[in-house]
Amino acid sequence: MNILQTLLTEGMKGEPLPYMPRLDWVNTSLLFLCIFMVCYVLSKERSHLQQQIRYFFSAKERGSFFDDATATDMRHTLVLIFHTCILLGFCAYHYCTHSFPALLNEVNHALLLGIFVVVMIVYMLAKWGIYSFVNWVFFDKTRNMLWVNSYFFVVIWLGLILLPVILLVVYFSLTPSTSFLLIALAVFLAKILLFYRCFSNFFQRIHGLFHLILYFCTLEILPDLLLWKGIILSCNNLILNI
């Protein structure tokens, strides 16, 4: 009788709704910020970005893709690099939340996404530092600047390609298999472009092919694999220790 009275007065507890990324204000705020940054930069620097594309695929050697760039152009470039870091953070967050569902019950969603974004920013700065040091040791200043600018050019366009993919993931519930495939294709395309630019900038002769593979695998592929493995181990340890 008491149980019946309790059910009549208090009702039965319902099951909580699953987490929905499109209803999270943090996701919406960050993606709105990304769209705003892209629209703002494209409205100011569209011609400059088109010029970078021509320089990237041009056989003519230049001291820098930013020979005629101003301080404003460089700030816009940094904005787009930051935009790419945010989207890469979303990619890592999307992968981990689907590969480790228990992680969502242990860590705040906004905190986890923020950690991944910060990790990508630190990773990008570390790659820039490593490339600058190694190229300073083995190559001249002109080729060093060419490579760094080429690298950031590819990073910027990777972010522009990932933006619609992440929007589909968050707001249209794109299936994990499809989203992972699209992200992998975007990253693979970026690596192909970097490989091409690395060959044309540093190792233009066939006998330098071995050095090209060694250079590219050591400084580009290996750090990505270490980052991916580090994220997986961190997620496993986080689930076990919390």
> Whats the size of the chain, residue-wise?
242
Q: How far apart are CA 77 and CA 168, in angstroms?
A: 25
Closest by CA to 218, choosing from 198, 238, 190, is: 198
Check whether 231 has a pLDDT greater than 50: yes
Quote the tokens at residue 199.
């060959």
Q: What is the pLDDT of residue 54?
A: 73
Check whether 21 has a pLDDT greater than 80: no
Q: For the chain, what are the domain ranges?
A: 20-46+66-241
Check whether 16 has a pLDDT greater than 70: no
Confidence of residue 15 (pLDDT cuts 50, 70, 90): low
3-class DSSP string for the chain: CHHHHHHHHHCCCCCCCCCCHHHCHHHHHHHHHHHHHHHHHHHHHHHHHHHHHHHHCCCCCCCCCCCCCCHHHHHHHHHHHHHHHHHHHHHHHHHHHHHCCCHHHHCCHHHHHHHHHHHHHHHHHHHHHHHHHHHHHHCCHHHHHHHHHHHHHHHHHHHHHHHHHHHHHHHCCCCHHHHHHHHHHHHHHHHHHHHHHHHHHCCCCHHHHHHHHHHHHHHHHHHHHHHHHHHHHHHHHHHHHC
The predicted model scores a pTM of 0.84
Quote the tokens at residue 1.
């009788």
Confidence of residue 69 (pLDDT cuts 50, 70, 90): low
Q: What is the pLDDT of residue 68?
A: 54
Tens of pLDDT, residues 166-193: 999 998 888 888 989 999 999 999 999 8
**Residues 228, 91 contacting (CB under 8 angstroms):** no
> Percent of the chain, pLDDT > 90?
24
Check whether 66 has a pLDDT greater than 70: no
Quote the tokens at residue 213.
């593979």
Least confident of 114-118, 131-135, 210-214: 210-214
Check whether 116 has a pLDDT greater than 80: yes
The residue ranking higher by pLDDT, 6 or 49, is: 49
Integer CA distances (angstroms), 181 to 39, 72, 98, 185, 193, in order: 26, 36, 14, 6, 18
Q: What is the pLDDT of residue 183?
A: 92
Q: How many CA atoms lie within 13 A of 38 on its CB side?
A: 19
For all residues of the chain together, what is the average pLDDT?
Answer: 80
The residue ranking higher by pLDDT, 219 or 204, is: 219
For the segment 137-164, the average pLDDT, to the nearest whole number, is 85
Tens of pLDDT, residues 99-109: 887 777 777 88
Q: How far apart are CA 125 and CA 135, in angstroms?
A: 15
Closest by CA to 182, choosing from 201, 167, 202, is: 167
Q: What is the pLDDT of residue 9?
A: 55
Q: How many CA atoms lie within 13 A of 161 on its CB side?
A: 16
Integer CA distances (angstroms), 154 to 23, 49, 57, 71, 226, in order: 32, 11, 12, 20, 20
